[in-house]
Amino acid sequence: MKKNQRIKILFSVLIAVFLFALSEVYILDAAMVDRTIAVVNDEVITEGELNEILNPIYEQLNETYRGDELEFYSEQARKEVLERLIEDRLILQEARRQKILVTSDDINQKLSELREKFSSDEEFEKSMAGSSMTMGRLKERIREQLMMARFFDKEICSKIVVNPQEITNYFRNNPDKFRNPQRVRVRNITTKFKNSTERLSANRKIKEALSLLKQGKDFKEVARQYSEGTNAESGGELGLIKKGEMRDEIDRIIFNLKEGEISDIIETESAFNIFFVEEKIASHEKNLEEVKDQIQHILFQEKLKERFNEWVEKLKKDAYISIR
């Protein structure tokens, strides 16, 4: 996977978690008196609000990048999160304008769900006490999130339709997406080494195992006796492997083996391996009935994204937005 793709996925996952997960309400509150970094119509977004979301993202980036790359991706994260905060604020303002209803019972139910994420009521109260967020502010956050979700459903989701012909066309035009790849059920025996001395010992051990297998010994029993892998106790079971899941040199070997056949010894940079193919499952195409729900979801998400982008751009065009 290319680096930019990894970052895009990281951003989308983290931002989705920190902005849109309705089951999560964050206990740590930003200070209400804080530097204004953006104005959206007559409301402000503060540095504290932004950092509350950015800090966990920065932690992830710090684990992966250094120097100029870290600076670049951190700045990209800041820009993208701020943009999403602005969009959220616009959605909330529009939800208020349309008087989207959220009752006290709705808020209390969501609050109960939040409490259940803690091991006890005492843990929840402890988290509240250790933060600057009051119960009143927490309930207000829940109310805002529910308003946004209901407004989003009313204005965007409820107006999206995927018809049967669209599903059929997508199925016909994307056959590779709905083909089960070839798979093999595999077991292995592995002996490990870290240096040249250990390599000699590991090589002797794997050769002994191969000799027993050639004599007709049961692979599972030999694996339990000789393998140093974490799957040794299960007889070296690796389960069903799809073509392309293993490193290239191993993938080529195991998919060229016949059912019931054992490989020669394969050396990698830190281990010797023997593979045994228990079962081979040929690739096959799924029929439309099997995948129509999956396609419906794909098309719905595509239309949802397109409709949301058009709608939010119109909101931005009609709004006063100032980034400082």
Report the C-alpha gap between 248 and 256 in whole angstroms: 12
Bridge-based pairing of strands 271-281 and 266-267 is antiparallel
Per-residue pLDDT, 64: 83
What domains are defined for the chain? 3-155 (1.10.4030.10), 182-282 (3.10.50.40)
pLDDT in tens, the chain (324 residues): 444 444 444 444 444 443 333 334 444 444 444 799 999 999 999 998 888 888 888 888 888 888 898 999 999 999 999 999 999 999 999 999 999 999 999 999 999 988 888 888 888 888 887 766 788 888 988 999 899 999 989 988 999 999 999 999 999 999 888 888 889 999 999 999 999 999 999 999 999 999 999 999 999 999 999 999 999 999 999 999 998 888 889 999 999 999 999 999 999 999 999 999 999 998 888 899 999 999 999 999 999 999 999 999 999 999 999 998
pTM: 0.57
SS3 labels along 226-289: HCCCCCHHHCCEEEEEECCCCCHHHHHHHHHCCCCCECCCEECCCEEEEEEEEEEECCEECCHH
Per-residue pLDDT, 24: 43
Least Cα distance to 278 among 198, 219, 194, 324 occurs for: 219
Report the C-alpha gap between 22 and 146 in whole angstroms: 7
